[in-house]
A and B are shown apart, each in its own frame.
Chain A
């Protein structure tokens, strides 16, 4: 396997300790849990998605572990502006705040709370199970461009996280780039559901949810590959990454860094474990393999 040279990297206007970030929605509700993941070897962390008003989320079950992955429908629970307090102890750390809104104005309002208090922002234009938010916006190129512009014009590093649940993800990525995005994050969860045969009803309280974990890794690789063809800004690969070889594969598809989420279920020390396998002092620069599969 390819080994990479260790050390800090800059991706989409944000300086990271390594190429491995914590994905949004995983252990991102408190400053202390984000600090724990950074201490465990992550190169950066993305918070739980924060929106314009506090939300409790969907009734449970909110998550079910299935073969090869996890299906969740949290329903964007978040404390809204109060989340600023959680970041107080993380000043100067590579923290990216995930934000959502129902309109470009709402995105701009929420972004304003965190401008200057985090390394950057990640726009959640991709949650598949929250009506009026996330993928409801992220499937429309014009809205994606507008929401991106509303945040990027604040001068904060702006990443845009896309949904794979569209006919042509490259078209959406191009819209984010036109809106001024500094990087694209691909992908959020894949629309999914399971039904309890014992109780004869959908398992999730919200009935539908999104699939993450190993099962969607091939979907994510394809999306990153397509985006690399269509866009010139950096891509952050997300979806089922659980090994150093997965990281290398994502990079070969076109990713400059990766986000890791569901793999935390097996090991909260996953970041250090992957870094241990991935980096070596006689490794190569990641630039040598990013997108190399397109040759």
Chain B
């Protein structure tokens, strides 16, 4: 395997996408398949996995030390990036995308590539809908908000039963695990779990399939290397929706 030292990149633009989500644009193109991720090194703080929202950007919600430090950075600051890693979304034919919150980020490259026919986008409230305008220009968009301030009043999962799943060859899903689990339950009920492609989030250290931090039960699949995208049939009867492991390897309920 060839050397993979982190590349130093300069943040050229910071876009406030929603009150809680920002896009950090950098000065280096990272050629990747839609749904692949990079390990983002915030110097002096930590290194965390982040989906690419374009070959030049990551789109981030503040959730921990590294993302908080990233939110405190300015245009012109430097971070490290290694990757891309993981398998990404492999789609053909007609594709339905289902995104919740910042989970729309790894789905955006699919939209940009013109590969999404219909996009179901959910958020807590109207102002938190991510990439709404960019998706609207490229796919049929249906929106749901928990508080009813835009689109369907309720969960994005409920929109899934308003489309005819038989129309789609692939259903690409990313969002909070509880939302993805609900989508998987719908697909399973309709007998098409294998057409679902779910992008998982797990604690990661190495990103290259060695350390085992992100291994999932019961098959020992590595989210960083065998995933992060798994088909729904693989996730049935797994830890998905039930628990995940933390930095120490201890199980924590989802």
Residues of A within 8 A of B215 (CB): 27, 29-30, 32-33
Is B247 in the interface zone, CB < 8 Å from A?
yes
Bound together, the chains give a CA A145 to CA B8 distance in angstroms of: 46
Cβ of B5 and Cβ of A77 under 8 Å apart? no
Cβ of B209 and Cβ of A77 under 8 Å apart? no
Cβ of B48 and Cβ of A26 under 8 Å apart? no
Cβ of A201 and Cβ of B216 under 8 Å apart? no
Is B178 in the interface zone, CB < 8 Å from A?
no
Bound together, the chains give a CA A80 to CA B222 distance in angstroms of: 22
Is B47 in the interface zone, CB < 8 Å from A?
yes
Residues of A within 8 A of B245 (CB): 29-30, 79
Q: A48-B249, A78-B249 are in contact. Are A63 and B208 (CB under 8 A)?
A: yes
Task: Kindly report which residue of chain B lies nearest to residue A194, judged by CB atoms.
Answer: B5
Q: A63-B211, A74-B211, A265-B209 are in contact. Are A30 and B249 (CB under 8 A)?
A: yes
Is B92 in the interface zone, CB < 8 Å from A?
no
Interface Cβ pair total, 8 Å cutoff: 147
Quick one: which of A186-218 are within 8 Å of B by CB?
194, 196-199, 201, 203, 205
Cβ of B218 and Cβ of A32 under 8 Å apart? yes
Interface of B is mostly: loop
Contact of A65 among B1, B8, B205, B213 (CB under 8 A): B1
Is A282 in the interface zone, CB < 8 Å from B?
no
Cβ of B4 and Cβ of A56 under 8 Å apart? no
Residues of B within 8 A of A287 (CB): none
Cβ of A29 and Cβ of B249 under 8 Å apart? yes
Quick one: which of A204-261 are within 8 Å of B by CB?
205, 261
Is A36 in the interface zone, CB < 8 Å from B?
yes
Question: Considering only CB atoms and an 8 Å cut-off, how many residues of chain B contact the other chain?
Answer: 43
Contact of B248 among A78, A199, A268 (CB under 8 A): A78
Q: Which of B37-45, B160-168, B228-236 contacts A (4 or more CB under 8 A)?
A: B37-45
Shortest beta-carbon distance, A167 to chain B, in Å? 30
Contact of B1 among A33, A36, A61, A265 (CB under 8 A): A265
Cβ of A61 and Cβ of B212 under 8 Å apart? no
Q: A29-B249, A30-B245 are in contact. Are A65 and B208 (CB under 8 A)?
A: yes
Is B114 in the interface zone, CB < 8 Å from A?
no
Q: A34-B220, A265-B1 are in contact. Are A61 and B39 (CB under 8 A)?
A: yes
Bound together, the chains give a CA A59 to CA B248 distance in angstroms of: 12
Cβ of A32 and Cβ of B217 under 8 Å apart? yes
Shortest beta-carbon distance, A135 to chain B, in Å? 19
Cβ of B5 and Cβ of A74 under 8 Å apart? no
Residues of A within 8 A of B76 (CB): none
Is A107 in the interface zone, CB < 8 Å from B?
no
* 7 tightest Cβ-Cβ pairs between the two chains A and B: A198-B8, A60-B47, A36-B220, A33-B220, A56-B247, A32-B220, A29-B212
21 A-B contact pairs sorted by A residue (CB < 8 Å): A26-B211, A32-B219, A34-B220, A55-B248, A56-B247, A59-B46, A60-B205, A61-B6, A62-B205, A64-B82, A72-B206, A78-B249, A82-B251, A196-B6, A196-B8, A197-B8, A198-B80, A203-B5, A262-B210, A264-B210, A265-B210
Q: Other than A67-B3, A198-B78, A203-B6, give 16 A-B pairs with Cβ distance below 8 A.
A: A27-B210, A27-B211, A29-B215, A31-B217, A55-B248, A56-B246, A63-B206, A65-B208, A72-B206, A77-B205, A196-B5, A196-B80, A201-B44, A203-B5, A264-B210, A265-B1
